[in-house]
Structure 1
Amino acid sequence: MTVYFYAILFTRHPEVRGLFPDNLDAQRDRLLRGLLRIVDLVDDTENLIRFCGRLGRDHRKFGALDGHYPAVGECLLAALARYAGPAWSPELAAAWTHAYGVIAQVMMHAAGEDARTRPAVWNAKIVHHVYRGHGIAEITVLPDALYPYTAGQYASVETPWQPKAWRYYSPAHVPRPDNTLTFHVRAVAHGQVSQGLVYSARPGDMVRLGPAQGDMTLDPRSDRDLVCVAGGTGMAPIKALVEDAARLGIERYVDVFVGARTAEELYGLDDMLRMSQGHHWLSVRAAVSHEPIAGLQGTLPQVLNEFGPWNWHDAFLSGPADMVTQASATLARQGIPPERIRFDPFDVPVLEAALLPRQLREPPED
């Protein structure tokens, strides 16, 4: 269905082809996932509007304009009709037409409101590039205008080597006076963006940044202690959160667990240990799962079980999806409620962002 949709969209409206990457495989998957989530939320108005608002704001960086929405709606309905077969009916067509109209209005309104306060994208020059080994590079960029974000959030990045392909990276620090941003990037096998950033990028190269997103930030009103879990380049937002705790002068304890398969792969541990020397409230522990060393052995979820209890803590997790999933389950078993376990979406944040708790509605009175 999604192959047919893009085929007729580009045939009927060739002017929109430039908004999309050359390789549409990931794009087709995202379209289907977006549609499925909208269907899932059809009876949850608050989250549906929130989700579609995020979509609208996110589409600004692609160059989407209000005039593009009717073209997309026309071709989407044609694709749905073709593949629904005998299930398609005038009533179903009317329902989808109405639904798409509402979704488009919410997206356009959110994009318009967003355009009043910030640009769609920032052009940024790479000013520093350091290869750290094991396929990881630290890349510092200087945006062409003030780039607002909160420690723990992430930015979408587009490179000249793969135009229209956006990936998400977290600044590894609190906002700086000079407006520079440093990202920790691991080259993923066959990665369209990460390979270029790690192995091809040089100072002077230009990239583009989308607006900061994400809810993995500190609540300055909370007095709960923190437990933070970082694997690989997931150290970046955790380091930013610890810096933010120090900046805010929060008098609560922070436990940081850093994990890797081998001691050599314990990325960012030295920086964390140096920070702990200057802050009595910060404790840093490292765990290695695939080689015997002095100290903690095992996966991060296993090591978490040996400490605690964590039930009165706020938790922040960042790293490989399996590690985050297992560590989240471990902390939940120890009594931390789901709303206090925070981690970023794994793939496309705008499609996976956490939903608001559904409001319990009182039954109507007779």
Structure 2
Amino acid sequence: MRFRIRRPGSTPVPPSPEEQEQAPAPAEYLLEPEVAEPPLSPHEIALIRASVSVVEPLAADMTVYFYAILFARYPEVRPLFPPGMDAQRGRLLRALLRIVDLVDDPESLVRFCGHLGRDHRKFGTLRDHFPAVGECLLASLARYAGPAWTQDIADAWTKAYGVVADVMIGAAEEDARTRPAVWPATVVHRVPCGPGIAEVTVRPHTPYEYAAGQYVSVETPWHPRQWRSYSPANAPREDGTLTFHVRAVPGGTVSTALVHRAVPGDVVHLGAPMGDMVLDAAVHNDLLCVAGGTGLAPIRALVEEVARRGGRHQVNLFLGARTGAELYGVDDMLRMAQRHHWLTVRGAVSDEYIPGIRGSLPQVLAEYGPWYQHDVFLSGPVPMVTSARQTLTLTGTSPDRIHHDPFDVSALATT
């Protein structure tokens, strides 16, 4: 199967909301299949999914084995990975399962693998690394599938991996023509904002273009090759600075370092901006924004972007927490609502009797809805996002109008 490169702004089939990028976001190059058919036949797809069902109960052991043989056979790739591999093994597993989910959806598969390819540039991944990974991946699948592994399955996986590798390589090489793999950035401000939370502002050394609502991976000097994703809490500024709201996660190396160790003058590294939870994905003038905890950061950036564009949207913002003390950022957002007539802010508390709205965010959304004439932006813990999405869908909101980051980005990361 062949692929062609499409620049944003061309006119192929109408893009889904997840494909649309906000100007002046960096020009990501999207790979599209030249034909509409899936890259694999229905029989090959069935073989791959059947083999995954066999190895899935042993997936954790399989990923340990995969990295063991990868480093043994190709020791030159070991320096690309962090010393502790637990989080990395989980990311591999989630990516592999996601690819299998999308194997019969070529547009989404290509989009997902293109994102992977661009993101892997920050690790130093090269074209020559892909054959080694493919070899060890198939060896690991064969070992843990046992007698269920056949030549037909091996051939199907070889073909599938070839498609994935081609898309990732093409996306990475095209991306390398227009921007660096990482951006050094100096910490210019750090403000404690409560127990275990800090606002950390950085200034990239070279221009860093992103869209409000996107997320950014960060590496600190104290833990090389360990990356954690955060969403800037601001729309792009004239001075180029980005502010992250960081909560120190127990056992988390990157978050703990940023909250408790970073001081002005320290230099961190930023990966390329990622994510499609951007304002240009909206088709309605009315927006529903829902945030839990420090998930407020990308929502706040989106509100700033609405203001930058002259307040052309009506924004209903719901903030949720278990207790009033945990209702993060509500005062800041209420001050913004006083300045902007198009912004309405409501806080909801689920586990404490205080004046105001009581209940979980999904319950409150159901009470104040319906929201089927709104574009919806969700950010926060995975259970909250999942239940809010279900509530909204059941009450008539179209799923393609509900925008949130992938579940394996900020909320699930533990570094």
Q: Do residues 152 (structure 1) and 210 (structure 2) align?
A: no
Aligned counterparts of 1:335 and 1:242: Cα–Cα separation in 2? 24
Structure 1 counterpart of 2:360, from 295, 299, 306: 299
Moved over 6 A (4+): none
Aligned counterparts of 2:193 and 2:264: Cα–Cα separation in 1? 16
Partner-residue secondary structure (3-state), 2:77: helix
2:379–2:404 contact (8 Å) kept in structure 1: yes
Structure 1 counterpart of 2:273, from 209, 212, 216: 212
Partner of 2:227: 166
Partner of 1:358: none
Aligned counterparts of 2:385 and 2:102: Cα–Cα separation in 1? 25
Question: How many angstroms does 1:221 deviate by?
Answer: 7.2
Partner of 2:371: 310
Aligned counterparts of 1:230 and 1:38: Cα–Cα separation in 2? 28
Deviates more, 1:61-70 or 1:300-309: 300-309
Counterpart of 1:178, as a letter, is D
Aligned counterparts of 2:152 and 2:281: Cα–Cα separation in 1? 50
Partner of 1:135: 196
Q: Do residues 49 (structure 1) and 49 (structure 2) align?
A: no
Structure 2 counterpart of 1:81, from 142, 157, 181: 142
Partner of 1:364: none
Partner of 2:255: 194
1:220–1:250 contact (8 Å) kept in structure 2: no
Counterpart of 1:87, as a letter, is A
Provide TM-score, normalisation by structure 1. 0.90
Partner-residue secondary structure (3-state), 1:219: helix
Partner of 1:241: 302
Counterpart of 2:389, as a letter, is S
Aligned counterparts of 2:176 and 2:329: Cα–Cα separation in 1? 37
Partner of 1:331: 392
Deviates more, 1:57-66 or 1:256-265: 256-265
Residues 285 and 37 (structure 1), Cα distance of their counterparts in 2 relative to 1, 3 Å cut: closer
Aligned counterparts of 1:348 and 1:238: Cα–Cα separation in 2? 16
Aligned counterparts of 1:165 and 1:35: Cα–Cα separation in 2? 20
1:134–1:265 contact (8 Å) kept in structure 2: no
Partner-residue secondary structure (3-state), 1:163: coil
Counterpart of 1:240, as a letter, is A
Aligned counterparts of 1:209 and 1:273: Cα–Cα separation in 2? 31
Partner of 1:40: 101
Question: How many angstroms does 1:251 deviate by?
Answer: 3.1
Aligned counterparts of 1:245 and 1:252: Cα–Cα separation in 2? 7
Q: Deviations over 1:244-263 (max 9, x none)?
A: 11111243321111122222
Aligned counterparts of 2:382 and 2:110: Cα–Cα separation in 1? 27
1:220–1:248 contact (8 Å) kept in structure 2: no
Provide TM-score, normalisation by structure 2. 0.80
Residues 85 and 330 (structure 1), Cα distance of their counterparts in 2 relative to 1, 3 Å cut: closer
1:129–1:202 contact (8 Å) kept in structure 2: yes
Residues 191 and 38 (structure 1), Cα distance of their counterparts in 2 relative to 1, 3 Å cut: same
Aligned counterparts of 2:160 and 2:113: Cα–Cα separation in 1? 12
Residues 27 and 290 (structure 1), Cα distance of their counterparts in 2 relative to 1, 3 Å cut: same
